């Protein structure tokens, strides 16, 4: 019996190690090749660099205006995620607690919108952006992200609220609390696990998104990190060493963020999955 368990554990760990290597290998290759010259990179992609060439990072840092692009994406991400959490938490709670045909219809509408591919709404979305005159506006762009992200967030909050006892709200109403007070003082603190999940998933989505900024932003002073990386691609040639180093630079803030909030991220995802 014990031998069978040990064999199963060995197989499981072997599978997990291989899976981890599959995920890490492209990142490792990007890191290694970012220190090579273009000649070394095109000659042998897998080989180690003859020497660490830091000039790629220095040149890329200046070309992509790193700090300016970092501030732009930080503003867009923080405002967009805050709006998603604000609107979707209230909407998910209210739609869950309101038992009516209108509530069910609205919730079904949000669920249905999740099935619509982004490619089918690109042109109408761009026309809306032009009509509202929010093109090249970081604050307006954040509203676009909040509109695209609330459907999934409402779905997650709606499922999580079902696990919160209704008696807590009824007791607070008896004590004289109004709806907004019930939400702020009773419901919102209990939504912390799922809020962390919504925050992380939407932050990574907005931070790593490339297509929507490419469509909406034309002013190079408002470029995000990934959009600044795109400027390194030429029509007839591309500086691959600089491109790989720019991708590493774009990933560093996310890696630092994950390292700092690793426990909260894992706890939020696990609690959200169990209670939601």
Q: Mind listing the pLDDT tens digit for each residue in 219-263?
A: 888 888 888 888 777 655 567 778 888 888 888 888 887 777 767
In whole angstroms, give the CA distance from residue 163 to residue 246.
44
Q: Choose among 196, 237, 230: nearest CA to 211.
A: 230
Question: ∠ CA(183), CA(188), CA(192), 5° rounding?
Answer: 165
Q: What tokens appear for 123 in the block?
A: 């042109």
pLDDT of residue 78: 92
Q: How many residues does the chain have?
A: 276
**pLDDT surpasses 50 at 276:** no
CA distances from 166 to 5, 149, 169, 276 (A): 44, 27, 6, 15
Residue 80: which pLDDT band, with cuts at 50, 70 and 90?
very high
State the pTM of this model.
0.82
Work out the average pLDDT over 81-106. Answer: 90
pLDDT of residue 3: 63
CATH of 62-275, one of 3.40.50.720, 3.60.15.10, 1.10.3720.10, 1.10.150.570: 1.10.3720.10
Quick: pLDDT tens for 158-193: 888 888 888 888 788 877 778 788 888 888 888 888
**pLDDT surpasses 50 at 102:** yes
**pLDDT surpasses 80 at 4:** no
In whole angstroms, give the CA distance from residue 275 to residue 199.
17
Task: Report residue 237 CA to chain centroid gap.
Answer: 31
Domain-by-domain residue ranges, the chain?
62-275
pLDDT of residue 5: 66
Residue 84: which pLDDT band, with cuts at 50, 70 and 90?
very high
Q: pLDDT over 70 for what percent of the chain?
A: 91
The per-residue pLDDT of the chain, averaged, comes to 83
Work out the average pLDDT over 139-148. Answer: 89
Work out the average pLDDT over 93-108. Answer: 88
For the chain, report the end-to-end CA distance as a whole number of angstroms. 36
φ and ψ at residue 238, rounded to 5 degrees: -135, 140
């Amino acid at each position: 019996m014990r031998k069978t368990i040990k064999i199963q554990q060995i197989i499981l760990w072997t599978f997990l190690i291989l899976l981890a290597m599959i995920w890490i290998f492209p990142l490792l290759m990007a890191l290694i090749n970012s220190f090579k010259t273009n000649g070394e990179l095109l000659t042998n992609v897998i080989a180690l660099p003859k020497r660490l060439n830091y000039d790629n990072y220095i040149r890329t840092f200046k070309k992509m205006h790193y700090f300016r692009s970092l501030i732009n994406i930080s503003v867009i991400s923080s405002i967009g995620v805050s709006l998603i959490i604000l609107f979707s938490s209230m909407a998910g709670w209210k739609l869950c607690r309101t038992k009516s045909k209108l509530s069910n219809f609205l919730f079904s509408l949000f669920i249905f919108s999740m099935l619509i591919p982004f490619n089918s709404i690109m042109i109408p979305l761009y026309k809306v952006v032009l009509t509202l005159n929010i093109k090249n506006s970081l604050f307006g762009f954040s509203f676009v992200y909040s509109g695209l992200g609330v459907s999934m967030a409402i779905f997650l909050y709606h499922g999580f609220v079902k696990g919160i006892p209704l008696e807590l709200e009824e007791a607070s109403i008896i004590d004289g609390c109004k709806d907004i007070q019930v939400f702020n003082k009773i419901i919102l603190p209990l939504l912390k696990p799922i809020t962390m999940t919504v925050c992380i998933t939407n932050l990574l989505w907005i931070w790593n998104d490339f297509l929507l900024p490419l469509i909406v932003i034309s002013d190079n002073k408002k470029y995000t990190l990934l959009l600044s990386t795109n400027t390194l691609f030429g029509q007839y040639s591309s500086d691959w060493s600089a491109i790989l180093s720019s991708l590493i630079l774009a990933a560093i803030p996310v890696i630092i963020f994950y390292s700092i909030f690793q426990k909260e991220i894992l706890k939020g995802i696990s609690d959200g999955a169990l209670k939601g």
